[in-house]
Every structure is written in C-alpha cells, then in structure tokens.
Amino acid sequence: MNRALIAALLLSTVPAKAAERWIRLTTPNFEMYTTTDEKTAREAMLHFERVREFFLAVSPARVPAGFPTRIVAFRDAQAYQMYAPNQIAAAYYAPGPLRDSIVMQNPSPESYPITIHEYFHAVVQNTGLRIPLWLNEGWADVFSSLKPVHDGVAVGDLIPDRMKMLQLGQWFSLNELSVVTTKSTVYNESNRTGMFYAESWALAHMLYLSPEYKANFGRFVAALNRGQNMQESLQFAWGKSEQQVYADLQTYFSRKKLYGTVYLTPFEKAGETPVVSSVSDYDSGLMLADLHAATGHQADAARAYRLLEEQDPKRPDAFAAAGYLGIRFHDPDAARKEFTQALALGTTDVQMCMQLAALDRAAQQPPAVVMAVLERAVTLRPTFPEALFQLGLLKVDARDFDSALDLLSRVTTVPPENAALFQATFAYVYLQKGELEQARVHAGIALKSSGAAGINLAAQRTIQLADARSRGPGAARSGEKLTRVAGTAVGLRCETPASGLLSKMGLNVGGKQLLLDLPDVLAVEVDKRPGTTAELKCGPLNQFPLTVEYAASGVPGQTAGVVRRIEY
C-alpha cells in the first residue's frame, strides 16, 4: 500500500484532531514526539534514560555527550508505515544533521528490545566507530536482549527467531557476511535478509561473549575500525583464519546454549522526570518532514518543507531543513538558496552555517560573504573549533593578523588532516606580528606534520623570512603591526651591504610621497602576479602600481617604516 493511499485512508477514518495530536516529552538526553498516551510515553522515556546509563557504564562504544536523540513513537501502525524505510522494519534509526531519531510504533515493554537495538546504532554512529554492517547489526542484537536481574543487567539471551533461522537456513561464509552493505540486495530485498541478521547476531554473540573469544574482542573491533578486512582482523585478534572461526561458530551454535553475561551495573530507575508539552502543527509537521528526508522520501520531504515555509515564512527551521535535503540529494544550488534564507531569518544552527560557508566558497562568493557566515557560527558557538579555524584562515587572507591570532589561539582541537595547515598558518601569523621564535617553532611543527607539498613549502619560507628578519637594522620587533598601503612605485635607492645602511623605496600614495626602508631582500615577501612585466630595480621606476605592507620605523622622523611585503 503506498503512502498516498495510507494518508487518504487515515483522513477518511480518523478525526483530524486525534490523528494530529502530538505531545513532546523532554529529558536532558532525549526528546520524544508521540501520539500515544502520556503514561506510556513517560515510561518509554524513562526506559531510554536507563538504557543510556547502562551504555555509559559498560559499552565499549561510548555514548557521546551533547548530541540529543529524538524518539518518534506512533500510536497508529499505518501512520508509522508512511514514514518507514520499508514495509518490514518495526523500528528504525535515522541519523540527521542536527539530531538522531529512533522511530518506532506504539512503545511497550515488548517493543523495547527493538528500540535498544536502534539506540545501539545511534551510539556507534556518534562515536565515529567504523565497523562493518554485520557487526553493527549483530552487536546491536546482542545488546537488545538486556534485562535487569537481581545483581545487575543480563545480556546475551537467545533470540528465538534468530535461532530458528540459523537452524533452517543456508549460512553465509564469513567473507560473504563481511561484504554486505546497506545497498546490498541481501540487505534490502533478498529472502536471505533474515539469515544475514541471524548469522550476524550469532557471530557477534560468540566473539563478544564466549570465553574463547571475548578477551580479544576489543582488538578485533580496533582492527576493523582501522579498515582491515575480516580475515586480517580475525588474524590480528585471535591468530585464526575465517575458516577456523566459521567452524567454531557452527559448533557454538550447535550447543543450543550460548553464553551470556551479567554486568554488575544496576539498571536503576532514572532520576529524570520528563517535561511534557503540546506540539504545534508547524513543529509536528517539521518533525514528520525530517523523517521523510531521513528515509529517502525526497519528493515528500521537499513538498512538506515547502508547505511549512509558506505556513510561517519568518521561521528559519523549514528553510534550513530544506537546505539539508538539498545536500543529501546532491543539489548544492538549492541547498545554498535555502540556507541563505535561513541565515537571514536568524537561524541558530551552527552546522548549517558551516555548510553554507562551504557552499558559498564552492560558488566562488566574495570572501566577505563567506566570512560573515563564519562569524555568525562563531557568535553562536564561540568555542567551535572548525568555525574558529576556517574564519582564522580567512582573516589571514584578509591580512587581519590580530583577529587571526585571536581566533586560532581559541582552537582547541584540529583534525589530523588539518594539523600541518593549522601550524603553518599559526607560524605565518606570528611572523607578521614580529614574534619570530614562535614563527619558527610552529613552522617546524608543520614540517613534522606530513603536510602537502605546498604547506611544507610555505612553512620553509616562513622560517627563512623569520631568520632574515632577525638580523640587521631592519630587524622585526616583537608585537609590531603592519600598515598596508596601495600606491605607485617611484624609485629605489640601493645601498651596499658594507655601508650598514638600509636601501630606500619611494612611493606615491594618494598624491603624497612615502619613503620606506627596504631591508635585505630575503626579509621581504614579494608577491608578483603572473604576467606582470614591471621590475623592481635600483633607480627611478616606471611608475607602476603596487601594494606595500610595512612596520613602523625604529628611527622616527627618517622613514615611515620598514617594508615587510610587496605585491605588484
């Protein structure tokens, strides 16, 4: 039955207010939207809080802080099917740009194992742990069996449906199991899907809980996370081949009594009291549109977002969500348009700002446009490392070194792939501030960070400039500030090194003459544009335009300052 027909049936058989009555419950770690009754919803929320506390205590995949999880619980099974990824999923996990969602039918103790399974997926997703699909599904199944016992929490009970499938069906080889992905026919359409889940559960159960394997399970997961395949990971963790482990699995299953474990972690009643509130039509519509987007219903999601934009054109939420939909379905122009509108309406979504900045940069927008978006991100979250770093880079390009130093100094974490660029940029900023030793130190770190050839070359050039600026009468002074002027070259008066005097550069700036000291050429950055025929040489010059950055002179009254950079 298609979604349009389901919607028509719902509208014809259910009173509008009853069908649309959503309530929202919130705790510090969860947000629930539901059409079920408040008592059932409260019990479900408290159960999720208890599960989260258990995972904090025992799971090797750590529960991240500060990333809210949304639970959507439908009372009506037909309504749930409108937003489900397929016809067989009784619940599902939907990662999103701002929050993850666990979507389920009417919550009850009988459905809790399914939701625990989906919550495990949320934990894995947000820890950044990279594991194959079979382990993600099988390990989630193992944890879905958790139940409180008198001295803790028991995990590892048999799952009858999985056992029956293993008994009657044809098994996969471990290699076949390991290469299944969410796009595989086996996972989505084949009559072998049940066997995939059953064997994934059995293998995860043995490796995680059996006495012969559990001690080195962490090594196995670490190897998979590094990108090693099944054979390599089994060999690394246990020194066994796929064939040996497969034989052990068949023996393990044939005993009909698998190992479980009891964690001495009380499954206590959560201390949180959910806050219950009503939900506006806009907010419930936005939540449902997000589910369409998460499950790949592009046309339905786009239509819903458009209606919400028309319903309340002053709220940024639907515009931002429509932008994320554009990103998901590879339409950067549409995403940029929607994000730009959300920004104008005052969005508080920092991640959206970062996406828009990247889209503006790809669309070759002026640096000032990109900078304004990143400044909004930093205003919204002053400690956001990525926004601070990207804005700092733009400030360097704009030659605003005071702002760049402030921003880069506030960056607390840098991804390894950006470490060399970060250090090289820091070094360059310190060079322009006259902090030559700091410039050398950071440039040296950049060279040790295995950066790209261009970054290494920039770091080496910074060290050369720092060395040259540390010598002679034009030496840099700590804390110096650069003045930038555009004018016309008039001439150069060159002095010999033996004279102990600095050469001089004359410029015409706005009709006034400006005289500057010109130190050793090794101490001056020169940015000569391709195709430029003008030459800097001793004597009168051919009146060509150039831009100069200079530091204030150490000998007031003679020249305006010492040249640090020339662009022409």
347 φ/ψ angles, rounded to the nearest 5 degrees: -55, 150
- The two tokens of residue 240 are 């066994």
CA pair distance 465, 458, nearest whole angstrom: 10
Q: Count CA atoms closer than 13 A to 367's CA, side-chain side.
A: 10
Under 8 Å between Cβ of 353 and 343: yes
Q: Supply φ then ψ for residue 336, to 5 degrees.
A: -65, -40
Closest CA to 331 of 294, 302, 310, 308: 302
* Helix 453-469 / helix 436-448 crossing angle, nearest 10 deg: 160
Q: How far apart are CA 227 and CA 483, in angstroms?
A: 51
Tell how strand 23-26 and strand 30-34 pair up: antiparallel
Residue 88 contacts residue 65 (beta carbons within 8 Å): no
Strands 539-540 and 545-552: unpaired
Whether 377 contacts 370, CB under 8 Å: no
User: What confidence score (pLDDT) does residue 492 get?
Assistant: 92
DSSP 471: S
Look at residue 124 in the predicted model and tell me its pLDDT. Answer: 85
Q: How many CB atoms lie within 10 A of CB 45?
A: 27
- Alpha-carbon radius of gyration of the chain: 32
Query: Which pLDDT belongs to residue 10?
Result: 37
CA distance 361 to 380: 20
Q: Residue 515 in 3-state DSSP?
A: strand
Q: What is the pLDDT along the chain (568 residues), one digit of tens a residue?
A: 444 434 433 333 333 333 568 999 998 888 999 999 999 999 888 888 888 877 777 765 555 565 568 999 999 889 999 998 887 788 898 888 888 889 998 888 888 888 889 888 888 887 778 999 999 999 999 989 888 777 677 888 888 889 999 988 899 999 999 999 988 988 877 788 899 999 999 999 999 999 899 999 999 999 999 999 999 999 999 999 999 999 999 998 877 666 667 665 655 555 568 899 999 999 999 999 999 999 999 999 999 999 999 999 999 999 999 999 999 999 999 999 999 999 999 999 999 999 999 999 999 999 999 999 999 999 999 999 999 999 999 999 999 999 999 999 999 999 999 999 999 999 999 999 999 999 999 999 999 997 799 999 999 999 999 999 999 888 999 999 999 999 999 999 998 877 778 899 999 999 999 999 999 889 999 999 998 888 888 999 888 999 999 999 866 668 999 999 999 9
Three-state SS at 552: strand
DSSP string, 198-256: HHHHHHHHHHHHSTTTGGGHHHHHHHHHTT--HHHHHHHHHS--HHHHHHHHHHHHHTS
Confidence (pLDDT) at 17? 37
Identity of the residue numbered 61:
A
- pTM higher than the cut 0.95: no
CA–chain centroid gap for 264, Å, is 35
Number of H helices, E strands in the chain: 24, 16
**CA–CA distance, 55 with 242 (Å, rounded to integer):** 30
Question: What pLDDT score does 265 carry?
Answer: 60
What's residue 88's pLDDT?
Answer: 77
Output the pLDDT for position 65: 60
Supply the DSSP string of 65-132, one letter for each residue. SS--EEEEEESSHHHHHHT-SSSS-SEEEE--SS-EEEEEES--TTTHHHHHHHHHHHHHHHHT----
pLDDT attached to residue 554: 65
Q: What is the pLDDT of residue 63?
A: 58
Residue 517 near residue 563 (C-beta atoms within 8 A): yes
Containing 322, the helix (H) or strand (E) segment is helix 317-328
Burial class (CB in 10 A: 0-12, 13-18, 19+), 488: middle
